[in-house]
Amino acid sequence: MSHTRQYTAARDALLDQVTRALQEDERFLAAWLAGSFGRGTQNQFSDLDLHVVVADAYSEALCASSWRESGRTTDKRLALFKQFGTPSVIYDAHQNAPAGGAFTYVLYAESAINIDWMLIPEVGAQREHDSLLLFDKVGIPLEKPEEPETQEERVERMSKNVSGFWMFATAGISNLVRHDFLHFHWCLLIMNLSILDVRAALQGEKLKYLGKRYSVSYATWQEQATALLRLCDEMEELMPAVVEMGGYVPFSPRTAVETRLAIVKEAMDITQR
């Protein structure tokens, strides 16, 4: 069996083991998967984003957050995690949890599988709409749907995305000057997402989670400049529709972008002589 198949089989087996154990444990009332499993977009490499509702009698101990962020966890949580293997890496990041909850990243040594454990107190617990239910002993309610955006909110969202796009376009060029290609490509990613969000807003929709499918790297100066200008073309095509809906857009931002690109190109030509 290939390493990939072994990994996927081990992950599925671990999920089954965790589900059975939690369901038989009086401390836990419900569990579901969020993330890619919750959206139905998982693949053979997807990790487990596990949300677990803790009964009131046990939530104070299991959801304790003596620190906001740390490379360790509490003894109570560690004992829970150890039921399913040897934790190799543990990282508490409770800012990722709902109020009163606890979030711990756990990487298991034997399988190289990680579970993002989200422990949620029973009081006020709600399940996300994009989730895969594993079990529910008490009938945890679904989250209330978001209130629809008003016209003013849509216009404001589009306008901020347009201005933010051009801000990151100029920042990306500055990163090229410094040969900081990592942050240049990060700027391209933000620009791409801004375009997608404006398109969604124009259609009266919210932008759905896209993962990292728009992360593309470019090796040469010509490829980098072409990629950036192509995104500028796409945003320029959207800007009249934003204005028509009452939004605001920057004045002639393309000129500033092309001026900066010309400066960078000249500097690079000089250094290469």
Mean pLDDT score across all residues of the chain: 92
Which residue, 88, 105, 136, sits at the end of a domain?
136
Return the DSSP state at 129: S
State the total domains in the chain: 2
Q: Is residue 27 part of a domain?
A: yes
Do 188 and 104 share a structural domain?
no
Bridge-based pairing state of the strands 69-70 and 28-33: unpaired
Task: Name the band, by pLDDT with cuts 50, 70 and 90, for residue 18.
Answer: very high
One-letter identity of residue 262 = A
Mean pLDDT throughout 160-168? Answer: 97
Domain membership of residue 144 (yes or no) is: no
In the 8-state DSSP scheme, what is residue 30?
Answer: E
Residues 129 and 206 in one domain: no
Domain boundary among 85, 111, 136: 136
Domain co-membership, 156 together with 256: yes
225 in any annotated domain: yes
- Which pLDDT value is given to residue 272? 53
**Co-location of 132 and 190 in the same domain:** no
Which pLDDT belongs to residue 134?
A: 98
Read off the pLDDT band of 219 (50, 70, 90).
confident
Torsion over CA: 24, 104, 31, 115 (sign): negative
Label residue 75 by pLDDT band (50, 70, 90).
Answer: very high
What does the pLDDT read at residue 179? 87
Average pLDDT for residues 227-241, to the nearest whole number? 96
Tell me what pLDDT residue 216 has. Answer: 76
Q: Are residues 11 and 102 in the same domain?
A: yes
Boundary residue ending a domain (102, 136, 170): 136
Do 182 and 123 lie in one domain? The reply is: no
Q: What is the mean pLDDT of residues 87-99?
A: 95
Mean pLDDT calculated for residue range 32-61: 94
The predicted-structure confidence for 105-140, as pLDDT tens digits, reads as follows 999 998 999 999 999 999 999 999 999 999 999 999
Confidence of residue 221 (pLDDT cuts 50, 70, 90): confident
For residue 130, what are the domain limits?
3-136
Q: Does 168 lie in the same domain as 108?
A: no
**pLDDT tens per residue, range 142-158:** 998 888 899 999 999 99
Give the pLDDT band (50/70/90) at residue 271.
low
- The neighbour count for residue 104, using CB atoms within 10 Å, is 25
Q: What is the pLDDT of residue 215?
A: 64
Element (H, E) at 185: helix 181-202
**Same domain flag for 59 and 132:** yes
User: What DSSP letter does each residue of 189-235 carry, written as one string?
Assistant: HHHHHHHHHHHHHHTT-PPPP-TTTT-----SHHHHHHHHHHHHHHH
Report the share of the chain in percent with pLDDT over 90.
78
The 10s digit of each residue's pLDDT in 174-201 is 998 888 999 999 999 999 999 999 999 9
Residues 6+ apart with CB under 8 A from 110: 85, 86
In this structure, what CATH number is given to the domain that contains residue 103? Answer: 3.30.460.10
